[in-house]
Structure 1
Amino acid sequence: MKFLVLLTFGVVVTLADTNELLQFSVGNHQFTADVYKELLKSTTGNVLICPLSAEIILALTYAGARGETAKQMASGLRLPDSSEQIQKIFTKLAQDLNSEQTYTLNSANKVYVKHGYPINQQFKDVAVKAFNADIQNIDFSKTKEAADEINKWVSDKTQNYIQNLLSPADINSATRAVLVNALFFQGKWSVPFETYLTAKKPFYLNANDHIDVDMMTMVSLLNYYEWPEVDAKVLEMPYEGNDVSMTFVLPNEKEGLHRIEENLEKVLESPKYTRISVDVSIPRFKIETSIKLIPILQALGIKDAFTGNADFSGLGSKPLKIDEVVQKNFVEVDEQGTKAASATGVFVGLSAFPIPKVQVTFTADHPFLYYIKKGNVILFAGRVKQF
């Protein structure tokens, strides 16, 4: 059995208003909820996932899948089971994924192939044309050098926020290819917090225990919604440029986060906001996570891809299976804005407005959910539960 290594790194996307992309955004929300809920089964603390990063690299892998393997991957990823439709979707995404506007948004795909290993020409064409991927030959027999080279590429593409995604032990004589997607987002709030207003305030870990954290404060006109169905309030904070935003979903009860998470599919849809003057208090936070995704993907019905039953005959002539899928994520939220990066690895065998009068308060002093969205596509999602 030959092996392939697949790695991804994630950030943000802009979507045109087309049927394919509308369908993708619906699936993107479902996949986000699916992964998040599966992750909760083994996680008690903070959560951070980059669903888009996983979708991109697994969709690229799907381009080489055939038969039942392809069907399971499309279903688990909430994508249409049509190579043509998927290629259309990701061709449009690739065109929109890089942006140097008032925020930084970069995405890159790369396929590292073992010297002399024959990759299917059709797969190469899809990788280059639909996913805008670079293809490079590499000597996997020199495990440290190969890992260092791939990690340097990842680090460069995520401005050094994601490092050491791959260890030399992840590569061996059976490795035939490594597929990588790197995404990075950095944005400034449309209305930044004033640093001098940040002060130590309590963050309640539960109804009784708290810890002092750096709490940022401001008053601004923002999109706000009260959601009785999940007993929570929702606040949308835009970044400069206004097409990327971070949404905070805060339960009214200190221990009410579980109710939000139980209704995650609904929560990830934009509610009917009211633009209103909000007195906002949100803690500064930084979260880093490393996630083994294979058990989660198996729970979502993607099973054959990780076994001897895998059919990746559209990628290479030798039998291949996915050995590992690892995602590393980073998010930092402060007074100026947000930095976010993600790396997912799949190892396949072979301001400035007058202060308005306060109308509501939004004090995130207990566990809450958040997500970063561009257009209608979720880039990052997670929760803050501990410091």
Structure 2
Amino acid sequence: MKTTLFTCLLALCVACAAPRHERLKDVAEVTEVDFKLNGAEKQLVTGSNQFGLRLFQAMVQAHPDSSMVISPMGVVYSLNMLNNGTDGETLTEICKALGYGEGDLQRMNELNRTFIIAQRKQIKTELEQTRDYMHTANLLAVMGTDAVKPSFKNVLAHNYFAETISAFHTDNLERSISRWIDEQTEGQIKQIPLKLSPNVQVCLVNAIVFRARWAEPFEPEFTKKAPFYCADGRIDSVWMMSGYDRENTFKGMSNNTYSALRMPYKGQFHITMVLPNKGFSVADLLKSLNVQMFGMIEKGLHDYNEFYVHIPRITLKTSVALKPFLSKVGIKQAFSQQANLSGMSIKPLKLDDVVQQTEFKLDEEGTSAVSGSFMQVATLSACDKPTKFHFTANRPFLYYISDGFGNVCFIGQYCGGKR
């Protein structure tokens, strides 16, 4: 019988404490960031994004009319950490799901280190140093002192800034993990559904804290109650923010199926909202949702002389056990008795579950999100020079937040204020 490993993912938009060994914040402060990627690196990003989209599609298929948000990056970071402890078919399966070959794991580790540092860096402008960033914290929690190979610990510490803690009883390990999560998210996530099995040996925990202010904030006095037309025919009353592009930073596009709006935050991040045209639904978009569609949106986005934007405030908390959805996107053997985690431990281990809790808030000032993950091992408009772009999100829509490299850090759907 194999003992288990549990993975927990947390996503939150707030600030968070730095690791005690190599401090991510300190490294980010002295590291120059170059957002240019070569061809091979772009392919790795494309693979990760495609995986995140497939995972999100699987979740939405199970809950088509529910507002939800996940952090694909949190899941990707955790699976890449896990992959450093896999071998054989388990390694092959996870690599295939994440869109890279077995020989690319070290390159993926190095690239993830670059991403984690760059996402944490507070970008300086001519006028100010922004306080906007995404902080990733990773934890390796071990039962006993010999459950994990030193080589595995070292890879995670260097590439993912992962701390290591140990305990000799399940209750103590749960309390230690909860304290760490509370510290890393500055109290924003006090509890995550930790249900460690009696034979758990290793826990991989990922916490992401995202804080970003709009480059052009919305004025609170223009926020009014407005109707939101849900897919099932209900009409919700939501707080609808209204604004326009004063600094020429917004971009938009539209075609026969949907309209898209991109708004920047201060710093490297931006949000893209995709609103189905009347007669189409989010489900229709999801059927063709892939990185090629994202590419079409990016190429189609362009400037308008005037933007008139109406979007709802969003406050969401999504907690989900990802095991069934990971299975749907091709990760199965790691959860079975045939799991090969020999690179992690000399003990026979298998992945027990992956849990992610994400808290997301979008308002007049900007966006904050906190995500925690826990893994237990036991087309353009016709006008060339358009003048006005109207975007009124008063029906279900998709949204995603990307960094300067093109990584999809958060993705969600909004279906109304009461679901």
TM-score normalised to structure 2 length: 0.84
Report if the CA contact (8 A) 1:106-1:157 is conserved: no
Unaligned runs of 5+ in 1: 350-356
- Partners of 1:23 and 1:121 lie apart in 2 by 31
Shift of residue 16 of structure 1? 4.5
Which residue number in structure 2 is paired with residue 365 of structure 1?
Answer: 394
Amino acid at match of 2:88: G
Aligned ranges 1:210-229 → 2 under 5 Å: 210-220=235-245, 221=248, 222-228=250-256
| Contact preservation (8 Å) 2:11, 2:370 | yes
Gaps of 5+ in 2: 14-27, 124-129, 379-385
- The partner residue of 2:270 within 226, 245, 249 is 245
Residue 300 of structure 2 corresponds to which residue in structure 1? 272
Alpha-carbon offset, residue 161 of structure 1: 2.8
Counterparts of 1:136 and 1:173 in 2: how far apart (Å)? Answer: 18
162 and 227 in structure 1: CA distance in 2 versus 1, 3 angstrom threshold: farther
Q: 1:4 to 1:85 in 2, by over 3 A?
A: same
Q: Specify which structure has the higher proportion of strand.
A: 1
In structure 2, the CA distance between the partners of 1:16 and 1:117, relative to structure 1 (3 Å rule), is: farther
State the Cα deviation string for residues 237-290 of structure 1 (Å, max 9, x = none).
10012x200110011116522222112113333232111121000011111111
SS of residue in 2 equivalent to 1:74: helix
Distance 2:317 2:323 in 1: 19
CA distance in 2 between partners of 1:80 and 1:374 (Å): 24
Say if 2:119 and 2:403, in contact at 8 Å, map to a contact too.
no
1:22 to 42, 54, 60: 42
Q: Give the CA deviation at 1:96.
A: 2.0
Task: Decide whether the 8 Å contact of 2:12 with 2:372 is kept in 1.
Answer: no
Within 5 Å, which residues of 2 pair with 1:252-331? 252-253=277-278, 255-265=280-290, 266-269=292-295, 270-276=298-304, 277-331=306-360
2:316 counterpart letter in structure 1? I
- Alignment partner of 2:357: what SS? strand
SS of residue in 1 equivalent to 2:344 = coil
The amino acid of 1:53's aligned partner reads: G
CA distance in 1, matches of 2:300, 2:180: 41
Residues of 2 paired with 1:21 and 1:155: CA distance? 34
Are the structure 2 counterparts of residues 206 and 302 from structure 1 closer, same or farther at C-alpha, using a change threshold of 3 Å? Answer: closer
Partners in 2 of 1:34 and 1:205 — Cα distance? 24
Instruction: Judge which range, 147-156 or 191-200, deviates more.
Output: 147-156
Matched, 1:68 2:89: yes
Q: Does the aligned pair in 1 maintain the 2:170–2:198 contact within 8 Å?
A: no
Aligned letter for 1:165?
A: I
- After TM superposition, list the pairs within 5 Å mapping 1:1-387 onto structure 2: 1-10=2-11, 15-44=35-64, 45-82=66-103, 83-101=105-123, 102=130, 103-139=132-168, 141-143=169-171, 145-167=172-194, 170-206=195-231, 208-220=233-245, 221=248, 222-228=250-256, 231-241=257-267, 243-253=268-278, 255-265=280-290, 266-269=292-295, 270-276=298-304, 277-349=306-378, 359-375=388-404, 376-387=406-417
| CA RMSD between the two structures | 2.1
The 3 A distance-change label for structure 1 pair 65 and 193 is: same
Q: TM (normalized to structure 1)? A: 0.91
Q: In structure 2, what residue type is equivalent to 1:35? A: L
Instruction: Name the CA distance, whole Å, in 1 between partners of 2:303 and 2:228.
Output: 27
Counterpart position of 1:353: none
CA positional deviation for 1:84: 2.2
- Percent identical among aligned pairs is 26
Task: Return the alpha-carbon distance in structure 2 between the equivalents of residues 20 and 148 of structure 1.
Answer: 42
Using the alignment, how far apart are the partners of 2:116 and 2:217 within structure 1?
A: 30
Superposed CA deviations along residues 166-201 of structure 1, whole A, max 9, x for unmatched, are 43xx22441211111111111110000000000111
Give distance in 1, aligned partners of 2:110 and 2:321.
29
Worse-superposed segment, 157-166 or 179-188: 157-166
Cα distance, 1:105 vs structure 2: 2.1
The Cα shift of 1:132 comes to: 1.8
